[in-house]
């Protein structure tokens, strides 16, 4: 694939990439749904200018109550004013503006509501002080600086009457003292967006430097402020944009990139890069399989589109996908090539390893780590790899010292040469999937040998069971090549896989460690009842929703759900996931998962 990479690299116009990224970013920075609609329209224009055919703009409700694959749609939101002005406080000049939406939209947390037109006077107190009171009417609460994005304590504060919260959390607070964290929304539960079930609040985000000033004042005594906001929530719509480059076959390969995240590298650059990939593919003729780009809300938008396509397992229609989020865009980063979760077979997992080997050491190519096992193999926009949806999704994700959801992620944050290399890398992989090359099949036996040898160094639990599960994953991805190639073309690789397995299996222990909990789980044979991972618990009354371990996606729970087929018992499923992730699941953590599964069973997501 080296020559293909160099070909794409020479052909990509980085000024086009940068320009299209900036065009999208200018619409999204405001965070409002009017801006979102404008960004979707801009994406359509860019697709048209680049000659990408079969463009559609689909409209979905943004009503805070409709759910697609258990992802609750956001409520629409708009604002032009959101200001926090300090009136009294030791060491702070009266009239000091701590936050101002018009100075930067990140100062007002999306989902905030309005004040009285003339503003309101409030007292600011710390979270610790707030939790000692019974009545918080007329108070804004300053959160602990180390509290992460989101606001787990929000329900309790609203119960006590708090007007809202102030946060100075920033992932990069030590290096970017004047950066403002972008908060997608504070919600009362685990939703990524404010919904109909969230009560009114006002939230401001201040810089770490300003936060330090406010904390010093609070340490000495009373701090009062004027809050102003014209923000409001309302029912509206949200757009999803898609386009398709037709291939000789109808089966599609999907590129995911999300709109509506107001940061240059997260993810306006992803949309621009996806369009450039489609353009580069078209310049080289008709691919074997069709290529579709999909742009919408992160995670939620792709659930919308999957449901639009039938809310079913789509593996017969879609080869797989690649996520163009959090890409390699700076020279000081590197890349993790994360394979698709094993719930759905995908020959692209083999191609991803080949690509990482072929371009290693080339000028401008960063260090690439190939990952075929990690704890959260279905996270964020890789969730469609699930067995109920059937779209195995790889994710070449950047690693290194990076800003996250920070106002400093402007166009200057991007390194054009890294952007160009990233686009060439992703395009080379996409091209390899949709225009399969028989020459690559000759390398499969070597790939299999390398993969099997790696397993001897990371076995978990029963050695034989571990090796068998890893062999099965390689076998299903190998068999997936028959979507295009004849079975006899992959026979040498199948023979190598069996030979490697037979040799390595000799003398391996088959002893399975049992605990009382795992003996109990032997008696439970769960089955999925809904399509897609449960996420927002839309079927559950709001007051009875619980916080799921790892939000399901960011822990082995997703892999457990993906392996529930109505035949395997939970003890088997647990061990499967341990072998897939190459990590033991402690019984105390397993108990947390079991309680969460029982909750999901109560409301009809799984049969338990």
- Inter-residue contact 118 to 226 (CB < 8 Å): no
Does 83 have pLDDT greater than 90?
A: yes
Domain assignment present for 510 = no
- The whole-angstrom separation of Cα 482 and Cα 504 is 27
Do residue 246 and residue 217 come from a single domain?
A: no
Do residue 229 and residue 290 come from a single domain?
A: no
What mean pLDDT do residues 155-167 have? 96
Do residue 258 and residue 383 come from a single domain?
A: yes
Q: Residue 101: pLDDT band by 50, 70, 90 thresholds?
A: very high
Does 150 have pLDDT greater than 70?
A: no
Domain assignment present for 81 = yes
Residue 522: CB atoms within 10 A of its CB come to 12
Does 173 have pLDDT greater than 90?
A: no
Q: Which of 471-478's residues contact partners 24+ apart within 8 Å by CB, and which partners?
A: 471/497, 471/501, 473/342, 473/580, 474/448, 476/342, 476/345, 477/345, 477/346, 477/347, 477/349, 477/350, 478/347, 478/350, 478/444, 478/448
Q: Is 588 exposed, middle or buried (0-12, 13-18, 19+ CB in 10 A)?
A: exposed
- Give me the pLDDT at residue 149, please: 57
- HEC string of 438-479? HHHHHHHHHHHHHHHHHHCCCCCCCHHHHHHHHHHHHHHHHH
Considering the entire predicted model, what is its pTM? 0.97
- Give me the pLDDT at residue 171, please: 87
What mean pLDDT do residues 525-552 have? 96
- Residue 579 in 3-state DSSP? helix
What mean pLDDT do residues 526-552 have? 96
Do residue 251 and residue 310 come from a single domain?
A: yes
Domain boundary among 190, 218, 233: 233
Q: Give the whole-number percent of the chain exceeding pLDDT 90.
A: 96
Element (H, E) at 76: strand 76-78
- Give me the pLDDT at residue 152, please: 82
- Give me the pLDDT at residue 151, please: 76
What mean pLDDT do residues 456-463 have? 95
Q: What is the pLDDT of residues 113-147, one digit of tens each?
A: 999 999 999 999 999 999 999 999 999 999 877 66
- The whole-angstrom separation of Cα 348 and Cα 280 is 19
* Helices 491-505/463-479 angle, 10° precision: 180
Domain assignment present for 580 = yes
Buried-state track 110-119, b at ≥16 Cβ within 10 A, e below 16:
bbbbbbeeee
Q: What angle do CA 416, 298, 552 make, to 5 degrees?
A: 125
- The whole-angstrom separation of Cα 580 and Cα 572 is 12
For residues 21 and 188, the model is more confident at 21
- Give me the pLDDT at residue 497, please: 98
Do residue 346 and residue 390 come from a single domain?
A: yes
For residues 80 and 170, the model is more confident at 80
Domain assignment present for 152 = yes
Does 174 have pLDDT greater than 90?
A: no
CA distances to 251, 524, 569 from 588, rounded to whole Å, are 44, 18, 19
- Give me the pLDDT at residue 576, please: 98
What mean pLDDT do residues 289-304 have? 98
Do residue 225 and residue 95 come from a single domain?
A: yes
- Tokens representing 381? 């926009």
Our count of domains for the chain comes to 4
Do residue 480 and residue 383 come from a single domain?
A: no
Q: Give the whole-number percent of the chain exceeding pLDDT 70.
A: 99
CA dihedral of residues 30, 36, 41, 43 (deg, nearest 10): 90
Look up the CATH number of the domain holding residue 94. 3.50.30.30
In the block, residue with structure tokens 């449901």: 307
Do residue 337 and residue 462 come from a single domain?
A: no
Q: What is the pLDDT of residues 364-397, one digit of tens each?
A: 999 999 999 998 999 999 999 999 999 999 999 9
Q: What angle do CA 387, 368, 417 make, to 5 degrees?
A: 115
Do residue 301 and residue 428 come from a single domain?
A: yes
Q: What is the pLDDT of residues 311-365, one digit of tens each?
A: 899 999 999 999 999 999 999 999 999 999 999 999 999 999 999 999 999 999 9
Do residue 400 and residue 445 come from a single domain?
A: no
Beta strands 318-323; 249-258: pairing state: parallel
Domain assignment present for 354 = yes
Do residue 501 and residue 537 come from a single domain?
A: no
Beta strands 76-78; 232-234: pairing state: antiparallel
Do residue 477 and residue 565 come from a single domain?
A: no
Domain boundary among 478, 505, 532: 505
- Give me the pLDDT at residue 279, please: 98
Q: What is the pLDDT of residues 58-68, one digit of tens each?
A: 999 999 999 99
- Give me the pLDDT at residue 76, please: 98
Q: Where in the sequence is the domain holding 581, given as residue range(s)?
A: 516-607
- The whole-angstrom separation of Cα 255 and Cα 291 is 8
Domain assignment present for 511 = no
Domain boundary among 233, 264, 281: 233
């Amino acid at each position: 694939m080296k020559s293909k990479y160099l070909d794409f690299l020479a052909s990509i116009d980085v000024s086009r990439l940068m320009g299209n990224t900036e065009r999208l970013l200018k619409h999204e920075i405001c965070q409002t749904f009017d801006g979102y609609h404008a960004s979707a329209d801009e994406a359509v224009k860019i697709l048209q200018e680049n000659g990408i055919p079969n463009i559609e703009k689909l409209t979905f409700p943004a009503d805070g109550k409709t759910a697609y694959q258990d992802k609750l749609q956001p409520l629409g939101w708009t604002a032009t004013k959101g200001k926090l002005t300090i009136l009294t406080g030791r060491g702070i000049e009266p009239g000091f503006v701590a936050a101002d939406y018009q100075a930067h939209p990140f100062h007002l947390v999306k989902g905030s509501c309005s004040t009285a037109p003339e503003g309101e006077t409030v007292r600011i107190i710390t979270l610790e002080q707030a939790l000692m009171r019974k009545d918080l009417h007329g108070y804004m609460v300053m959160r602990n600086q180390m509290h992460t994005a989101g606001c787990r304590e929000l329900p309790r504060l609203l119960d006590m009457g708090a007007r809202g919260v102030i946060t100075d959390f920033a992932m990069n607070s030590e290096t970017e003292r004047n950066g403002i964290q972008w908060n997608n929304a504070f919600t009362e539960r685990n939703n990524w967006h404010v919904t109909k079930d969230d009560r009114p609040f006002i939230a401001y985000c201040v810089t770490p430097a300003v936060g330090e000033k406010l904390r010093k004042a609070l340490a000495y005594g009373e701090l009062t402020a004027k809050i102003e906001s014209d923000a409001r929530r309302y029912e509206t719509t949200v757009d999803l944009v898609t386009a398709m480059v037709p291939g000789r076959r109808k089966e599609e390969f999907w590129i995911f990139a999300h709109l509506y995240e107001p940061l240059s590298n997260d993810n306006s650059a992803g949309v621009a890069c996806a369009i450039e990939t489609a353009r580069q593919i078209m310049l080289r003729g008709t691919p074997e399989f069709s290529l579709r780009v999909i742009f919408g809300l992160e995670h939620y938008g792709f659930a919308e589109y999957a449901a639009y396509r039938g809310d079913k397992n789509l593996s017969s229609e879609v080869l797989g996908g690649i996520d163009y989020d959090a890409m390699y865009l700076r020279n000081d980063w590197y890349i993790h090539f994360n394979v698709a979760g094993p719930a759905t077979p995908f020959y692209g997992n083999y191609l991803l390893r080949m690509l990482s080997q072929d371009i290693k050491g080339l000028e401008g190519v960063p260090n690439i780590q190939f990952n075929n096992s990690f704890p959260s193999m279905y996270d964020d926009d890789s969730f469609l790899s699930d067995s109920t949806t059937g779209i195995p999704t790889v994710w070449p994700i950047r690693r290194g010292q990076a800003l996250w959801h920070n106002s400093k992620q402007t166009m200057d944050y991007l390194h054009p040469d890294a952007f160009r290399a990233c686009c060439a890398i992703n395009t080379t992989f996409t091209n390899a999937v949709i225009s399969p090359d028989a020459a690559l099949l000759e390398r499969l036996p070597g790939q299999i040998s390398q993969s099997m040898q790696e397993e001897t160094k990371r076995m978990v639990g029963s050695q034989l069971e571990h090796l068998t599960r890893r062999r099965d994953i390689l076998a299903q991805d190998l068999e997936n090549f028959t979507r295009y190639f004849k079975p006899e073309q992959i026979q040498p690789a199948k023979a190598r896989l069996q030979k490697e397995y037979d040799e390595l299996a000799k003398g391996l222990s088959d002893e399975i460690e049992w605990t009382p909990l795992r003996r109990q789980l032997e008696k439970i044979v769960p089955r999925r009842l809904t399509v897609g991972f449960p996420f927002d618990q839309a079927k559950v009354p709001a007051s009875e929703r619980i916080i799921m371990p790892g939000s399901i996606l960011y822990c082995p729970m997703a892999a457990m759900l993906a392996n529930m087929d109505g035949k395997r018992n939970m003890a088997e499923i647990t061990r499967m996931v341990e072998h897939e992730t190459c990590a033991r699941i402690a019984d105390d953590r397993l108990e947390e998962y079991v309680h969460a599964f029982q909750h999901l069973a109560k409301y009809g997501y799984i049969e338990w």
